[in-house]
Every structure is written in C-alpha cells, then in structure tokens.
Amino acid sequence: MSSKTVTVTDPASGNTAELPVVEGTVGNNAIDVRTLAKQSGYFTYDPGFAATASCSSAITYIDGEQGILLHRGYPIEQLASKSSYLEVCYLLLNGELPNSTESDDFENIIKNHTMVHENIGRFMQGFRYDAHPMAMLSATVAALASFYHDSIDINDPEHRQITAHRLIAKMPTLASYCYKHYRGQPFVYPRNNLSYTENFLHLMFAVPAEEYSPSPAAIRAMETLLILHADHEQNASTSTVRLAGSSGANPFASIAAGIACLWGPAHGGANEAVMNMLDDIMETGETIESTIARAKDKNDPFRLMGFGHRVYKNYDPRATCIQGVCHDLLDELGGDQPLFQLARELEEAVLADDYFKERKLFPNVDFYSGIILRALNIPMNMFTAMFAMARTVGWIAHWQEMHTDPHFRIGRPQQIYTGPTRRDYPGA
Ligand code: ACO
C-alpha cells in the first residue's frame, strides 16, 4: 500500500471519502474502495469487473497495449522458446525457475502422480458415448475430491502442494480418457519414461495393437501450446477458481468450477470458431477476397475468427511465439493440404490488408492453436479440454496464492437492486 490517497467528493451532499492508492510493481495502480461505502454511502458499479482489481497477484503481468505477457517477470516469448511446460509449471507455482536438481525432482514428482484410480476410469466409462469432453472433465475433476479425503485440507500447505501436483499430473490422463471414451478405444496407461507432452500424445493416440511415436514437430507444437496457455492472470475461469475457492471449497471442486467457466464459447471456444470458419469457407467455396470483404462490411455481422483481441491491442505475443511452430508443423505434415493452405493464405492476406492494419487486428493465439490441434488430429470437441489441461497450473497457482494472501476473504460482490420495493402478499 502506498502513502498516496485519492479524494472522492459527492457534489450533492458535499461528503468526501479519502481512499488509499494500491501500487503494483508495474502497470496501473488502483484505488482501494473498501471503505468507500462506509465513508460515502456509495458502492462502485462495474459489471464484468473490467475496471476492478479483485486481488493483488505476483504471478502474471499483461500489458495489452504493448503486447506484453510476463510470467513471474519472464517474457512469454523467452519461455516458449527456451523453457519446457513443466519448468513453466514450477515457475508459476513457486515464483522462481528451478535449478537442475529442483527440475528433476519436480518432473519425478509429477510422473509419480500420472495414474488415476481405476474407479475413475470406470466412472468415466459411465458417460454416454458422445458426452462432451468438458462435461466429462469438469465432473471427473470434481469427483477426484472423493478419492483424496486425507489431503484436501486447504489450510495445510503440504495438502495444497500435493493437490497441485496431482492435478497437473492427472489432467493429461483424464483428458485422454475423454477422447478414448468418445472414440471407443481402450484407455491407455501413462508412460513415465516419456516427457510430459510426449506422454500426453501417447495417452491420446497409442492403441494396444501398434506402436505410437509422435514426430518431433508434433511434440514441439503441443509443448508450445501448453506453455502459451499456462496462465493469463485474472481471466474469467481463473477468477471463477478464486471465487469458488474463496468459500473454502476443496481444490478439486474449485478447479472443476474453472473448467465449467472455460467451457463457455466466449472464453475457451475461440479456436473452435476459427476451424468452423475455415471449414465453412472450404465448404461454400468462398474466396479469401470475398471472406475479407464480408469481414469489413459493417452491414454483415460476420467477423474473421482468430483476428483481433480484447486485451492485446498491438499484437498477441502468444501468436508471435506460435506462428513459426505452426508453419513448421504444417510444412512437415504437408502444407499443401487445402485447409492449411487456406489458413496460410488468409493469414497473409489479412496481414497485408489496410483495414486490419489500421485497426491493429492481428492473428491471435487461437488462430494458430486451432490449426495446430487440427493438424495433430485432435477433434474439435477436445480443443477446450486441451486448453483446460494447459491452464490447470495457472488455476492452481492462483488458488494457492489466494490461500496465502493475508487480505483474502470470501468473494461476495454487491449489487444495485432494481426490483420492486417492499409490498404485501395478497391478503396479508
Ligand atoms: N474481423 C473484422 N473486423 C474486426 C474484427 C474481426 N475479427 N475484430 C474487430 N474488428 C473491427 C470492428 O468491427 C471495429 O471496427 P470499426 O472501428 O470500424 O467499428 C474495430 O475492429 C474494433 O473492434 P472492437 O469490436 O471494438 O474490438 P474489441 O476489442 O471489442 O473486440 C474481439 C475484440 C471480440 C476479440 C474481436 O476482435 C473479434 O470478434 N475477433 C474475432 C473473434 C476471436 O478471434 N476471438 C478470440 C479472441 S481471444 C479472446 O478474446 C479470449
């Protein structure tokens, strides 16, 4: 807390409220309005919380105007090109990069927890054959709490830590079970001699009848996707995890709430929308020129999916990281496949077009992630489950941070009541 204050005056009554300023290490400062209602009788009104800092956090920093994304101070570009997903997990959870012993220990711990209880597999087999993976995932993650009665005391730092490790380790297994159930293939057991990402691809695509070995470009593309989606500060699902966890709900229930929030199309569904758009263009035989013309036409609600971003008004730094990885993967898998060719031509045409340049509408991370997941043969209904798997570490890091924050209290927003005033029940 700084010594600065801001004074707010109500001209009608002349009442003033003096409010402290909260300063971060970088970025906007905030006015601490906790005593505003007591001093002035007013609450603040901020639907969507777009102008409200719900907490202080030392995990991730975003500057949308400049296209900056830092995890614990490290730029995402450097993490994506130099680090591994597990190292980023360690960083997000612990605040510092691991040394080589810590890195090995962390990897071993995670590998120790990759299997799930056999009854979890049976539980998942109970879903209808075409159940949506996000329904299966949120329900199963919530159900995990019933297997760990002895280690979900939220006030015990060791319990919090082992739960964090369990969730990071088991998400690939659970996500792959969703896919296998849908395909009607047997669940595959994790292989702890493989890297985190290679193991995930093995869980997804190995079958008992033959060997499976993913290409280096596929492993790199998946690893990069995981790193780029690991955290994104107080987005809707992370805020949901914090809010659910603020009541003292167990960590599995809190993460299940985050998964449910991510399932919404306005949050986790953008890369699916990109693929739907590309499929539509292919099916209808529209040209790139006519597609771009539609996107510019103010009388047509159509927008180019995968371009522009609510937060990043310069460029999405994650898109810059993934563009090369995406191109490499497409080159390896045959860049002349019609849909991938279309995506590359669309990207080039948009980047050269003045309408998009003037409005700073660049390809966002979802444009490339949709194409990569399609190239990796991951079906569209699994896209958001991939996102949930990657984001689990971010959710759990925020959940942990909340439980060690001295200012933490149950989340309980106010409202402006607009319903009827008091009236009597007929005959009362
Ligand atoms: N295609 C065509 N025109 C666009 C697009 C687009 N994808 N995005 C923005 N514009 C235009 C708008 O029409 C507007 O033009 P105008 O100034 O002539 O009126 C201008 O660019 C600014 O657009 P806004 O809607 O004000 O930008 P906003 O920040 O509200 O929207 C959003 C951001 C919702 C992401 C938008 O760019 C969009 O709809 N993109 C496509 C969907 C998408 O890819 N979403 C995933 C983004 S990731 C995420 O947000 C979680």
- What would the pLDDT profile of 373-392 be if each residue is shown by its tens digit? 999 999 999 999 999 999 99
pLDDT at residue 269 in the model: 86
Q: Find out whether 122 and 101 touch, Cβ atoms under 8 Å.
A: no
DSSP string, 132-182: -HHHHHHHHHHHHGGG-GGG--TT-HHHHHHHHHHHHHHHHHHHHHHHHHH
- Compute and round to an integer the Cα radius of gyration of the chain: 24
Q: Which of 292, 347, 359 to mutate to test the pocket of ligand 1 (most atoms within 8 A of CB)?
A: 359
Q: Which of 64-68, 225-229, 252-256 has the lowest mean pLDDT?
A: 64-68
pLDDT at residue 249 in the model: 97
Q: What is the mean pLDDT of residues 160-185?
A: 98
Closest CA to 69 of 311, 274, 367, 399: 311
Share of the chain above pLDDT 70, in %: 99
Share of the chain above pLDDT 90, in %: 88
pLDDT at residue 5 in the model: 96
pLDDT at residue 310 in the model: 84
Q: Is the CB of 319 under 6 A from ligand 1?
A: no
Q: Which residue has the higher pLDDT, 339 or 225?
A: 225
> Does 309 qualify as catalytic in the annotation?
yes
Nearest ligand 1 atom, CA 303: 1
Please tell me what DSSP assigns to residue 246.
H
Q: What's the token pair of residue 296? A: 């510019």
Q: What is the mean pLDDT of residues 197-214?
A: 96
pLDDT at residue 313 in the model: 87
pLDDT at residue 331 in the model: 87
Q: Which residue has the higher pLDDT, 97 or 12?
A: 97
pLDDT classification of 354: cutoffs 50, 70, 90: very high
Q: Is the CB of 270 under 6 A from ligand 1?
A: yes
How high is the mean pLDDT of the chain? 95
In angstroms, what is the span from residue 143 Cα to ligand 1's centroid?
A: 38
pLDDT over threshold 80, residue 2: no
Which residue is associated with the tokens 């002035």?
A: 40
For atom 22 of ligand 1, which residue has the closest CA? Answer: 359
Closest CA to 395 of 47, 27, 60: 60
H-helix or E-strand spanning residue 9: strand 5-9
Closest CA to 276 of 308, 305, 296: 305
CA atoms lying within 13 Å on the CB side of residue 116: 26
Nearest ligand 1 atom, CA 308: 37
> Does 156 qualify as catalytic in the annotation?
no
Spatial strand order in the sheet of 16-22: 5-9, 16-22, 30-31
CA distances from 341 to 215, 282, 333, 359, 364 (A): 21, 11, 12, 25, 18
pLDDT over threshold 90, residue 22: yes
In angstroms, what is the span from residue 145 Cα to ligand 1's centroid?
A: 40
Q: What's the token pair of residue 224? A: 């990069």
Buried b (16+ CB within 10 A) or exposed e, 272-286: bbbbebbeebeeeee
Closest CA to 393 of 226, 209, 207, 159: 226
> Does 407 qualify as catalytic in the annotation?
no
H-helix or E-strand spanning residue 347: helix 338-351
Q: Is the CB of 269 under 6 A from ligand 1?
A: no
pLDDT over threshold 80, residue 334: no
Candidate list 202, 309, 316, 398, residue with the active-site label = 309
Q: How far apart are CA 258 and CA 396, in angstroms?
A: 10
pLDDT classification of 336: cutoffs 50, 70, 90: low
Q: What's the token pair of residue 398? A: 């925020």
In angstroms, what is the span from residue 16 Cα to ligand 1's centroid?
A: 40
pLDDT at residue 251 in the model: 97
pLDDT at residue 261 in the model: 97
For atom 48 of ligand 1, which residue has the closest CA? Answer: 309
In angstroms, what is the span from residue 338 Cα to ligand 1's centroid?
A: 26
pLDDT at residue 344 in the model: 87
pLDDT at residue 235 in the model: 95
pLDDT over threshold 90, residue 33: yes
Q: What's the token pair of residue 235? A: 């987005």
Q: Which of 232, 307, 358, 362 to mutate to test the pocket of ligand 1 (most atoms within 8 A of CB)?
A: 307
In angstroms, what is the span from residue 344 Cα to ligand 1's centroid?
A: 20
pLDDT at residue 335 in the model: 58
pLDDT at residue 34 in the model: 95
Q: What is the mean pLDDT of residues 70-97?
A: 98
pLDDT over threshold 90, residue 246: yes
Closest CA to 34 of 50, 20, 48: 20
Q: What is the mean pLDDT of residues 400-415?
A: 95
Candidate list 117, 267, 327, 403, residue with the active-site label = 267
pLDDT classification of 421: cutoffs 50, 70, 90: very high
For atom 7 of ligand 1, which residue has the closest CA? Answer: 304
In angstroms, what is the span from residue 309 Cα to ligand 1's centroid?
A: 6
Q: What is the mean pLDDT of residues 137-150?
A: 97
pLDDT over threshold 80, residue 338: yes
Q: At residue 407, what are phi and psi to the nearest 5 degrees?
A: -90, 5
pTM of the model: 0.94
pLDDT at residue 337 in the model: 81
